Amino acid sequence: MQECQTQLCLSVYIITFITGFPTNILAFYAFILKVRRKPTPIDILLLNLTVSDLLFLIFLPFKMQEVANDGTWNMPYFLCPFSGFIFYMTIYNSTLFLTAVSVERYLGVAFPIRHSLNRRPVYAVLASIFIWVVCFMHLSIVFIMPYYNPKTPSASGADVNSTELGLVAPIRQRPNVCYENFSDAQLEILLPYRLELCVVLFCVPLVICSFCYINFIRILMRLPNIRRQRRVRAISLALGTLVVFTLCFGPYNVSHVVGMVTHKSPQWRDLALLLSTFNACLDPFIFYVSSSAVRNMLGDMLQGIWNCVPVWDSSRLRKCFVWRMDISQTKKVTFTNPDEINAL
């Protein structure tokens, strides 16, 4: 590890896992029920974002184990590039899915009638597939780079393996570290590629997300026919998403730019990565505000917990294990006008 203090990094990882895993499981279950019953584009996008966060959290214990051992990788080496690939791919998955959600919400208030007529779940499915493929292809370098061991021509013109020059140690002799200590030959490829990741998978999505949510807020402020409570919730969601997007992903991507300028990975890169880690436990709050399915699920869970007190009452105890999801199906949904259909 570069400048990641053991106690700090381990604490962040543990907090993220403990808070993020159960809340994302809850969101995943809620979105699965909602998509099976009546899929909407935003629910499909949020479901994919939840799956991405769960993948991130499932592989987070590998990082926890590495930090607990002071940066030493004690597991089979092939798990290092594989877990790193999942780790970084899901981070950039989040940026693209959050951007897709911002586009969906902006179109809902900017072009309510046209968007309602052309709103098809299949478009969200295709967009989700595209995002997964783009992130898979871009982040595949994380899996490839640890095995990259080029040959360097010697002074006599013969090809000499770069390991003989001390650039890259063979895998069997490699120090027990994961995704660290890159050679000059590796950095020559890795640093420009990181800059490309910063531009394509962070800067462009940030510009799109900012444009969509800023105009989303401007339009909502001008609409007189939306209740104040819903307006405040929608604006809070937009601002909160922009703050999360900038604070969680910004510092880590800035480290890519610094690395390209200085021709080496900055020492604070792992500390910046901790902020990206926090995103996995912050996304469920976005789900709660933006999805009625998650709110209904949480409400039913709390009601079920309340019904199981006192626990010695067998009739009420049985209610603990029934989440009564039918309540949300029987609720009548009315829309006063096209502007309010897609605003929230």
Cα–Cα distance list, 43 to 161, 200, 248, 281, 293 (Å)? 52, 25, 23, 18, 9
Ordered by start, the domain boundaries in the chain are 6-152+162-294
pLDDT tens for each residue of 240-276: 889 889 999 999 999 999 999 998 888 888 889 999 9
- Long-range CB pairs of 303-308, under 8 A, 24+ apart, other chains included: none
Write out the DSSP string of 26-59: HHHHHHHHHHHHS--HHHHHHHHHHHHHHHHHHH
Residue located via tokens 């067998």: 314
pLDDT tens for each residue of 209-247: 999 999 999 998 888 877 888 888 888 888 888 988 999
Distance of alpha carbon 195 from alpha carbon 237, whole angstroms: 30
In CATH terms, the superfamily for domain 6-152+162-294 is: Rhodopsin 7-helix transmembrane proteins (1.20.1070.10)
Percentage with pLDDT > 90 across the chain = 40
Q: Read off the tokens for 102.
A: 């911002």
At residue 332, the pLDDT reads 42
Sign of CA dihedral 176, 53, 321, 33: negative
Is the previous residue joined to 153 through a cis bond, with omega within 30 degrees of 0?
no
To the nearest whole number, what is the mean pLDDT of the chain?
Answer: 80
Q: Read off the tokens for 310.
A: 């006192």
Distance of alpha carbon 8 from alpha carbon 26, whole angstroms: 28
Distance of alpha carbon 51 from alpha carbon 27, whole angstroms: 10
SS3 155: coil
At residue 154, the pLDDT reads 43
At residue 294, the pLDDT reads 67
At residue 215, the pLDDT reads 94
pLDDT tens for each residue of 23-54: 899 889 888 988 898 899 998 999 999 999 99
* Top-confidence residue, 118 or 4: 118
Cβ–Cβ < 8 Å for 232, 246: no
Residue located via tokens 């505000």: 289
